[in-house]
């Protein structure tokens, strides 16, 4: 019995150490927070009952650490404590009873209740009102200095008070808060990732942590992080008596505090409010994993003191898990319209957050390998908001040894083509363009709302038409005739008539929608809009893609033979070689802006020790490629990977055939004629930047209505840059290229307004 307990304590300690490392050091947890909390609490309970077996290195004896080697270390003025957890009402009542026993008899406690943010803890120091330092929580005693990065977060004031009327700045104020993504900012970040052809971020908290730990604060600035402040760690020159006063004081200084914090006159009141919080959890702008309940009177909280690493006067009330562990029964593989293989976990059904979950996303095989998820594993599933449930990781401790590793399939399960993993890609693909599953998915997408929007063409109809060999690609839809359709089962006259008329109507969809419907990897309606803003027709876009492809082929043909014979041990040379093999993504974007390609390229290629004639040739070839790429690559919001996808799509023979058939069938492939009412700007090219009196689209229409052209990137061909409020880097580029800069008023003056 005693040996049992001793080994259970040792076992739990070991497991928790592993998970702490995954979570805090690698930023890559393999179990969910609630699973971790449960294990942690089990260990705490066992140690409390059997202190003689508690190990000196027990995870309960130390706080977690998010320290990483890249940053200077900062000592906090006071320990940044963590909170003990309560999981139900009984835990809360027990907590209050224990506290009351420690206080003079007859004491009554009031509480402040606020949401527990699921972000990254931060400690910010102000001296005489000026932000002088910001540090992560680290191990609670020492943190990483992330001052430069925190300064880019707009809700973290650089100077307090924001409103001078709030009174003088305190001589010294060290505050504690949390940095996180609002749900909509996180979604937006993932939309941008998608537009760049990059994989989506999965976990908002980890992404916030990663964003704050960028070495280059400009990278942090690009992420829309928010800083909430809720506590004072240390101060000089202010006297406050309650938690409630602290929150009000922080607010008066200009910090973003949790607007919905409430003061409760009793624990009953707090418990009642907690239920309401839980009910509206999904409606909040940020993720929360519970509530924080603090004793309001600071004098009482001080008297209660600290137990281990947790202050007795505060507790985290965790919401029931939206995570659960279950068994991974198997993997099914989906093939999308681009051929991408998506593994899905088939699970023993489990009840999470009010629904039964029997399958969950595994994202991709890279993720499966990174998490070491095996067939037969116990896995932890997370479900939050409307996100598809996903697998967080295996419960390593539950392994029996007969679990089998999961590998990507060698053949497409639908067409048995050999699957491929393109250079640099995370995903595996079925490369077969006539794979029935790919065609099915492509057609489903093609007819969907937002794409060609063909009513009456549901998945069953598509499947029937493929089965009868009436359609084999998107363009075949436009060649459908009444006769063969009427011969199909379930296709009455009325139904056929409606279907044919909605197909006819689809031919006139706007160019942007037609482009979206092609299903080019990463080209949704937003990117399609960017393309149609810059290309007047499908033919223009195709011509540009072909030009780029030709210039790239020429670059490769002419420059690769110049490379010196492989020196396998020289990694710099090998890296350069790789770059030269992918010039449109690795070289052209980098050298597109700015003058004097020659000397810059020479610096890059120095390790190759090429003779001067070779350098000149590489530069000439690259210049040719850059010129070809410019119309596509200078579109703002369109990254090199996406440009690559577009070029690949348009230069593919199968896709070209489909496009030709669509064109012949009368599908619209041109942007709408711009209505030109004046000629004041004819022949001039404009670039717009910054905030103007009207939306960018309206200003653009105004320029175009007067014969001008609007493009995304500044080049020597740009006639004017029009700069509104807080313009971006384009103004600098304009200055460098000698392009004149106009204000919005000056633009309007040109139009005689
Ligand atoms: Zn296939």
Q: How far apart are CA 552 and CA 573, in angstroms?
A: 21
- The length of the chain is 753
Catalytic annotation, pick one of 73, 116, 151, 222: 116
233, 170 Cβ separation under 8 angstroms: no
pLDDT surpasses 80 at 618? yes
Task: Assign domain 323-405 one CATH number from 3.10.20.90, 2.60.120.560, 2.40.50.140, 2.60.40.1180.
Answer: 2.40.50.140
- Tokens for 711, please give them: 């493009």
pLDDT recorded at residue 566: 61
Q: How far apart are CA 441 and CA 436, in angstroms?
A: 9
When pLDDT is averaged across residues 8-33 and rounded to a whole number, the result is: 67
Q: How far is the CA of 524 from the centre of ligand 1 (A)?
A: 23
Q: Calculate mean pLDDT across residues 295-317.
A: 89
Checking if the pLDDT of 382 tops 90, the result is: no
Which of these CATH numbers, 1.10.10.350, 3.20.20.70, 2.70.70.10, 3.30.470.30, describes 83-318? 3.30.470.30
Has residue 13 got a pLDDT over 60? yes
**Any bridge partners for residue 178, and if so which?**
121, 228
Active site residue 116: yes
Class of domain 436-506: mainly alpha
Stated pTM of the model:
0.56
CATH superfamily of 2-61: Helix hairpin bin (1.10.287.610)
pLDDT averaged over every residue in the chain: 85
| Cα Rg, the chain, nearest whole Å | 31
According to DSSP, the residues that pair with 310 across neighbouring strands are 307
**Mean pLDDT to the nearest integer, 338-354:** 85
1 — pLDDT class (breaks 50, 70, 90): very low
C-alpha 437 – ligand 1 centre gap (Å): 6
Residue 492, both tokens: 């009455």
Mean local confidence (pLDDT), 403-422: 93
pLDDT at 595 over 50: yes
How close is the Cα of 652 to the center of ligand 1, in Å? 18
Measured CA to CA, the distance from residue 117 to residue 96 in angstroms comes to 23
What distance in Å separates the CA atoms of residue 181 and residue 224, rounded to the nearest whole number? 7
| Residues 6+ positions from 662 with CB-CB distance below 8 Å | 474, 475, 478, 514, 669
pLDDT of residue 652: 92
More confident residue, 25 or 226: 226
Q: 15-29, 419-433, 499-513, 573-587: lowest mean pLDDT where?
A: 15-29
Q: Which segments of 21-68 does DSSP mark as H helices, in order?
A: 33-49
Question: How far does residue 656's CA lie from ligand 1's centre (Å)?
Answer: 20
pLDDT value at residue 289: 78
Structure tokens at 72: 């200077």
Query: b/e per residue, 343-362, with b = 16+ CB within 10 A?
Result: bbbebeebebbeeebebbbb
Of the listed ranges 404-413, 586-595, 637-646, 743-752, the one predicted with least confidence: 586-595
264: confidence class by pLDDT, cuts 50, 70, 90: very high
Instruction: Report how far ligand 1's centroid is from the alpha carbon of 388 (Å).
Output: 25
Residue 507 has pLDDT above 90, yes or no: yes
Distance CA 632, CA 533 (A): 11
Q: How far is the CA of 419 from the centre of ligand 1 (A)?
A: 8
- All structural domains of the chain with their residue ranges: 2-61, 83-318, 323-405, 436-506, 525-664, 685-750
Q: How far is the CA of 650 from the centre of ligand 1 (A)?
A: 21
- Give the pLDDT band of residue 63 (cuts 50, 70, 90): very low
pLDDT value for 301: 92
- Which residue in 678, 753, 685 sits closest to 718, CA to CA? 685
- 418 CA distance to ligand 1 middle (Å): 8
Quickly name the fold that domain 685-750 has: Rossmann fold (3.40.50)
Q: How confident is the model at residue 718 (pLDDT cuts 50, 70, 90)?
A: confident
551, pLDDT greater than 90: yes
Residue 247 Cα to ligand 1 middle (Å): 59
DSSP letter (8 states) at residue 386: T
45-54, 283-292, 588-597, 686-695: range with lowest mean pLDDT: 45-54
What is the per-residue pLDDT for 25? 47
Ligand 1 centroid, distance to 461 Cα (angstroms): 21
């Amino acid at each position: 019995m005693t040996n049992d307990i001793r080994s259970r304590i040792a076992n739990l300690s070991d497991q928790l150490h592993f998970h702490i490392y995954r979570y805090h050091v690698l930023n890559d947890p393999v179990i969910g927070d609630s699973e971790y909390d449960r294990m942690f609490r089990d260990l705490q309970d066992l140690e409390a009952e059997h202190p003689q077996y508690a190990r000196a290195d027990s995870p309960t004896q130390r706080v977690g650490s998010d320290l990483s080697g890249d940053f200077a270390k900062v000592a906090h003025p006071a320990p940044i404590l963590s909170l003990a957890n309560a999981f139900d009402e009984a835990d809360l009542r027990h907590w209050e009873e224990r506290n009351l026993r420690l206080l003079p008899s007859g004491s009554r406690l009031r509480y402040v209740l606020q949401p527990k943010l699921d972000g990254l803890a931060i400690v910010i120091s102000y001296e005489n009102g000026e932000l002088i330092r910001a540090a992560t929580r680290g191990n609670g005693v020492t943190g990483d200095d992330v001052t430069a990065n925190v300064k880019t977060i707009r809700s973290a004031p650089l100077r307090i008070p924001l409103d001078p009327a709030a009174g003088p700045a305190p001589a010294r104020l060290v505050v504690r808060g949390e940095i996180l993504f609002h749900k909509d900012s996180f979604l937006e970040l993932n939309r941008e990732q998608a537009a760049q052809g990059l994989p989506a971020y999965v976990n908002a908290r980890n992404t916030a942590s990663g964003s704050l730990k960028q070495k280059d604060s400009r990278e942090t600035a690009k992420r829309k992080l928010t800083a909430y402040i809720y506590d004072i760690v240390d101060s000089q020159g202010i006297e406050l008596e309650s938690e409630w006063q602290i929150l009000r004081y922080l607010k008066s200084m200009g910090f973003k505090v949790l607007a919905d914090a409430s003061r409760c006159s009793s624990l009953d009141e707090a418990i009642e409010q907690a239920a309401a919080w839980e009910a509206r959890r999904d409606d909040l702008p940020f993720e929360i994993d519970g509530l924080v309940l603090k004793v309001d009177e600071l004098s009482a909280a001080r008297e209660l003191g600290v137990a281990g690493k947790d202050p007795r006067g505060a507790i985290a009330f965790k919401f029931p898990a939206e995570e659960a562990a279950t068994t991974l029964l198997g993997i099914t593989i989906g093939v999308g319209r681009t051929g991408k293989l998506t593994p899905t976990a088939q699970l023993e059904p489990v009840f999470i957050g009010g629904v039964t979950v029997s399958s969950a996303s595994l994202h991709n095989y890279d993720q499966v390998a990174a998490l070491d998820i095996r067939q037969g594993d116990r896995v932890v599933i997370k479900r939050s908001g409307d996100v598809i449930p996903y697998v967080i990781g295996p419960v390593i401790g539950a392994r029996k040894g007969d679990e089998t590793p999961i590998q990507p399939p060698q053949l497409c399960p639908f067409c048995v083509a050999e699957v491929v993993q393109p250079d640099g890609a995370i995903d595996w693909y079925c490369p077969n363009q006539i794979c029935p599953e790919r065609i099915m998915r492509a057609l489903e997408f093609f007819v969907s709302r937002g794409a060609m929007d063909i009513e009456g063409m549901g998945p069953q109809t598509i499947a029937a038409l493929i089965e009868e060999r009436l359609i084999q690609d998107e363009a075949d839809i436009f060649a459908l005739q009444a006769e063969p359709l009427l011969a199909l089962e379930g296709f009455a006259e009325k139904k056929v008539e409606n279907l044919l008329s909605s197909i006819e109507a689809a031919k006139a969809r706007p160019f942007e929608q037609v482009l979206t419907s092609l299903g080019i990897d990463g080209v949704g309606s937003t990117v399609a809009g960017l393309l149609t803003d810059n290309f007047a027709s499908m033919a223009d876009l195709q011509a540009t893609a072909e030009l780029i492809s030709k210039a790239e082929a020429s670059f490769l043909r002419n420059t690769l033979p110049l490379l010196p014979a492989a020196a396998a041990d020289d990694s710099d040379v090998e890296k350069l070689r790789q770059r030269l093999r992918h010039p449109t993504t690795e070289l052209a974007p980098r050298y597109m802006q700015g003058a004097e390609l020659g000397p810059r390229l020479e610096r890059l290629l120095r390790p190759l020790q090429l003779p001067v004639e070779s350098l000149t040739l590489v530069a000439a070839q690259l210049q040719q490629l850059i010129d070809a790429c410019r119309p596509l690559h200078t579109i703002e919001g369109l990254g090199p990977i996406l440009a690559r996808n577009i070029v690949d799509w348009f230069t593919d023979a199968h896709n070209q055939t489909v496009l030709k058939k669509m064109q012949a069938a009368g599908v619209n492939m041109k942007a709408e004629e711009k209505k030109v009412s004046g000629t004041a700007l004819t022949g001039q090219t404009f670039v717009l930047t910054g905030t103007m009196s009207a939306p960018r689209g309206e200003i653009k229409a105004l320029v175009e209505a007067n014969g001008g052209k609007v493009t995304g990137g500044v080049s020597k061909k740009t006639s004017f840059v029009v700069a509104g409020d807080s313009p971006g880097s384009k103004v600098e580029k304009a200055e460098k290229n000698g392009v004149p800069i106009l204000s919005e008023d000056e633009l309007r003056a040109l139009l005689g307004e």
